[in-house]
Amino acid sequence: MVNLNEYDFATLAVRAGWWDADPQTGAVAPPISQTTTYAFNKVEDMVKIFSSGEFSNRYIYTRASNPTQNILEERVAALEGGEAALAFGSGVAAIVALITLLVQSGDHIVTSNSLYAATQFYFRNILSKYGVKVTFVDATDPDNVAGALNENTKVVYMETPANPTISLVDIGAIGAIARGRKVTTIVDSTFASPYLQHPLDYEGIDVVLHSATKYIGGHTDALGGIIIGKKELMDKVRAYSLINMGGIIDPFAAWLLLRGIKTIHLRMERHCTNALAVAEFLEAHPKVERVYYPGLPSHPQHELAKRQMKGFGGMIAFELKGGVTAGTILLNNLHLCRMAASLGDTDTLIEHPASMTHNELFVTREERLSQGITDGLVRLSVGIEGVRDIIADLQQGLSIVPSN
């Protein structure tokens, strides 16, 4: 039995879940278990599994579990310091499966008002159809969360750093508020990655969630989502939601995420150093109105970021003085920075939330503005390229933007 506490994060990123070479072939890389179905020799064995509902203890059907998937789950659980993890086909699939287990008609959710757009859409437009009430609050002030709780509250859901405003939530304070109440507290830590932040270290936090598509995979080649928490809860989500709703991860995608996560510690260090340099450049530029990056002393939660994060991450948001027109000109004239909706990639990616990821298909303009997502906000996912090249591309793009 491997004692995970004996190993550094970097070692766990490379080896957790697959400590030894393949016993049959000696292969160093884990296999891709590209199968849907698993055979049994005795009727009694198969009946026992189906009767008990313990689908994590024996492979039956890949909709329930898969060997490659399970290696990924063990690795991410080790990196987050959780008892167990459960992987899905996307981050949204993970959110829906978890929340579906936790709430029913008449229940209440308290959540931060700055969220990934698809999460917002699910909370605002889908859960309401089934009688679940969701209260959105400015969670940068923990008192707002405490004030929104009521006797029917079953879930407190936070995103930190938030997408796309890069605002932070005090994880320890939220955990303290939730502690002792019959609520499940969930932290979406996608922007931080397991390398920079460990929400489960805080008492009162039950589940940490990631869109594994982003920094865990890191190479824009695999979709995935993952939740981490107590094994009892993960088993319940597997038996209730994953098997019956089908938001499964493909074995090949799980294998790609395993390959990507081996370098997460190296990539995140570079993301952080590059992003700080880019943020400092943008803050000093005369055509930039404001920069939102936790590593800058000007960020209102800079001190909080220093307390609860190992580094400040690779995500930046900024406002141009010329608003949405200036942003359009900038994005249309970049060459190295790729215009794309995703984030957390080795490549630098840039997008305009108001017209792209947070447009009115997902959230209304009023809702968006209430979250601080202005018409001119630009989101930048800083990659691991040479930072001088990233800055040079932004410099030439900004040079085309008219001065006010």
Which CATH number belongs to the domain containing residue 396 in this structure? Answer: 3.90.1150.10
> Which one from 48, 63, 236, 259 is the annotated catalytic residue?
63
Cα(74)–Cα(263) distance, rounded to whole angstroms? 16
| Structural domains in the chain (count) | 2
pLDDT digits (tens, 9 = 90+) for 125-138: 999 999 999 999 99
Q: Is 240 a catalytic residue?
A: no
324, 281: one domain: yes
Q: Is 307 a catalytic residue?
A: no
Q: Is 214 a catalytic residue?
A: yes
Last residue of a domain, one of 209, 240, 261: 261
- CATH assignment at residue 187: 3.40.640.10
| Dihedral of alpha carbons 260, 263, 268, 273, sign | negative
Q: Report the b/e string of 12-43 with b at 16+ CB within 10 A.
A: bbbebbbeeeeeeeeeeebebbeeeebeeeee
* Bridge-based pairing state of the strands 288-292 and 108-112: unpaired
Last residue of a domain, one of 237, 261, 285: 261
- List CB contacts of 342: < 8 A, sequence separation 6 or more: 213, 214, 220, 349, 381
231, 279: one domain: no
What is the Cβ-side half-sphere exposure of residue 271, based on CA atoms within 13 angstroms? 34
220, 154: one domain: yes
187, 98: one domain: yes
Last residue of a domain, one of 218, 238, 261: 261
209, 318: one domain: no
Q: How confident is the model at residue 56 (pLDDT cuts 50, 70, 90)?
A: low
45, 184: one domain: yes
41, 57: one domain: yes
pLDDT digits (tens, 9 = 90+) for 312-361: 999 999 999 988 889 899 999 999 999 998 999 999 999 988 777 677 77
Q: What is the DSSP letter of 120?
A: H
Which of 357, 322, 328 lies closest to 340, judged by CA? Answer: 357
292, 361: one domain: yes
180, 297: one domain: no
Give the domain range for residue 93: 4-261
256, 289: one domain: no
Q: Is 287 a catalytic residue?
A: no
How much is the pLDDT for 252? 98
216, 117: one domain: yes
Q: Is 3 exposed, middle or buried (0-12, 13-18, 19+ CB in 10 A)?
A: exposed
Q: Under a CB-based contact definition with an 8 Å cutoff, are residues 398 and 287 in contact?
A: yes
> Which one from 75, 107, 116, 215 is the annotated catalytic residue?
116
* Bridge-based pairing state of the strands 315-320 and 288-292: antiparallel
Average pLDDT of 165-170? 96
Q: How confident is the model at residue 55 (pLDDT cuts 50, 70, 90)?
A: confident
243, 291: one domain: no
> Which one from 107, 170, 188, 206 is the annotated catalytic residue?
188
How confident is the prediction for the chain on average, in pLDDT? 94
